[in-house]
Amino acid sequence: MAPYLLLVLHILFFLTGLSGIHGVSTVSHVSVREGGSITIPCLYHHGSEKHVKYWCSGYFFHFCSTLIRTDSQSASNWLSIADNVTTRVFTVTMKNLQLGVSGYFWCAVENGDTTHLYLSVATGTAGLYVDQQHVTGVEGQSVTVNCNYRNSGDFCWCRLGGSCVERTVGNLDGASVELKRILANGKKVMIVTMSQLKMKNTGWYWCAVGDLQMPVHITVNQSTTTQSNTTTTNRNNGGTDEKRQERIQSLLVVLLIPLSLLVVVIAGTLVILKKLRKQKDKKAKDQPPNTTVQSADSEQNITYSTGLNPERHGDLYSTVIPKQHRTAQREAEPGDVVYSTVAQHQR
């Protein structure tokens, strides 16, 4: 009944001009299990970045009750709002939802642009849900989103404010999209695979089965050569670094042992040499000075000679030549003692 009522409200709001549904884009019908949480994205047009955004609940927009605004957020454990002016999307997150919260909610901008959706809180399993509303991928690679559902109907994968893929394969903004329905552990799952991701594929999407939609945000991170090389090195050579470190440690141990012994030997040699030098210096200090005194020989070892100086008459000259123990004469050397006596002759 709710889908038909929602269609009638769309027509009524459009005809009466009570809602500018063309100004903001979002999903139309979401299902959440009791006690669960959900984030609703609201895409607005260029030029509305500086306007206040707010979230209200009620059957008609002019009579709805404002729950939260971007310019005056009140402390709340179950409701929050955030505005990204770069992507022109403001999001509303609701937590710990209870059955009484079910109803119509509005994405609104103060310039008059609005759109609405129906939120149904279900006991037990929701009609359509995902394991994670925020998925991260890498440029050039792929991401997978599992959309679990209980209802029946056509299925598709769409970008918020953009086009949709309604067949098993397609393309969205340069990324390849593959849709596959499977039955796993009694659950019906629509597997969405986006491959060959590009940076521009970052944004809000939603999967739909029948009249239910579930928003999903995909973040594509840039792939760098450094990241790829680091990942490959860590993956393929995980144990190489550890082995290399072990070999280096073993080599250091082998080198340190002989080096340590060499240091000990050198130190011991220096100590011994120092002790020997001290002993030698001490011995030289204690020994009396080496003096040699030549005793006077007997007169038999001394030769006397006298004569007149031919140049100076009346003068007596005398030379004393020490006799050697042997008959051979030798030249006087330092240390030999020579005795001489000179007397003046009277004329």
DSSP-derived secondary structure for 274-308: HHHHHHHHHHHHHSPP----PPPPPGGGEEEEEEE
Write out pLDDT tens, residues 138-176.
Answer: 999 999 999 999 988 999 999 999 999 998 999 999 999
Predicted local distance difference test score (pLDDT) of residue 326: 44
Query: Average pLDDT in the 106-130 region?
Result: 95
Write out pLDDT tens, residues 271-304. 888 888 887 777 777 666 554 444 444 444 444 4
105 DSSP β-pair partners = 57, 117
Pairing of strands 134-138, 212-221: parallel
d(C-alpha 229, C-alpha 225), whole Å: 6
pLDDT, position 233: 46
Overall average pLDDT of the 27-49 stretch = 96
Of 18-22, 87-91, 104-108, which range is least confident? 18-22
Strands 29-33, 114-122: pairing is: parallel
135: pLDDT strictly greater than 50 = yes
Asked if 155 and 214 touch (Cβ cutoff 8 Å), the reply is no
51, 61, 206 from 29: Cα distances, Å: 26, 17, 11
Average pLDDT for 51-61:
95
Confidence of residue 242 (pLDDT cuts 50, 70, 90): low
- The whole-chain average pLDDT of the chain stands at 79
CA 323, distance to chain mean position in Å, is 103
**Per-residue pLDDT tens digits for 190-241:** 999 999 999 999 999 999 999 999 999 999 999 875 455 544 444 555 555 5
**Predicted local confidence at residue 209, as pLDDT:** 95
Mention every residue, 6+ apart, whose C-beta is less than 8 A from residue 93: 37, 38, 39, 40, 79, 80, 81, 82
Mean pLDDT confidence for 55-64: 94
Mean pLDDT is lowest, of 17-26, 65-74, 313-322, for 313-322
Strands (DSSP E) along 11-130, which ranges? Answer: 24-25, 29-33, 38-44, 53-57, 65-69, 79-84, 89-94, 103-109, 114-122, 128-130
Point out the least confidently predicted range of 96-105, 239-248, 326-335.
Answer: 326-335
The whole-number pLDDT of residue 171 equals 95
Q: What percent of the chain has pLDDT over 70?
A: 69
Q: Are 97 and 36 in contact (CB under 8 A)?
A: yes
Please tell me the predicted confidence (pLDDT) of residue 282: 76
Specify the pLDDT at position 89.
97
Average pLDDT over residues 24-32: 96
Q: What is the pLDDT of residue 8?
A: 47
Indicate the pLDDT class of residue 250, thresholds 50, 70 and 90.
confident
**What is the distance between the terminal CA atoms of the chain, rounded to a whole angstrom?**
178
Which range has the worst mean pLDDT, 19-28, 52-61, 94-103, 267-276?
19-28
Write out the H or E segment, with its range, that includes residue 252: helix 240-286
More confident site: 120 or 12: 120
Which band of pLDDT confidence, cut at 50, 70 and 90, is reported for residue 186?
Answer: confident
What confidence score (pLDDT) does residue 315 get? 47
Q: How high is the pLDDT of residue 307?
A: 47
Rounded mean pLDDT, 176-186: 93
Q: For the full predicted model, state whether its pTM sits above 0.75.
A: no
Q: Classify 51 as helix, strand or coil.
A: coil
CA 331 to each of CA 298, 302, 303, 319, 326: distance values in angstroms, whole numbers, following the listed order: 20, 15, 15, 14, 13
CA 292 – CA 335 distance, rounded (Å): 9
Tokens of 74: 């009140």
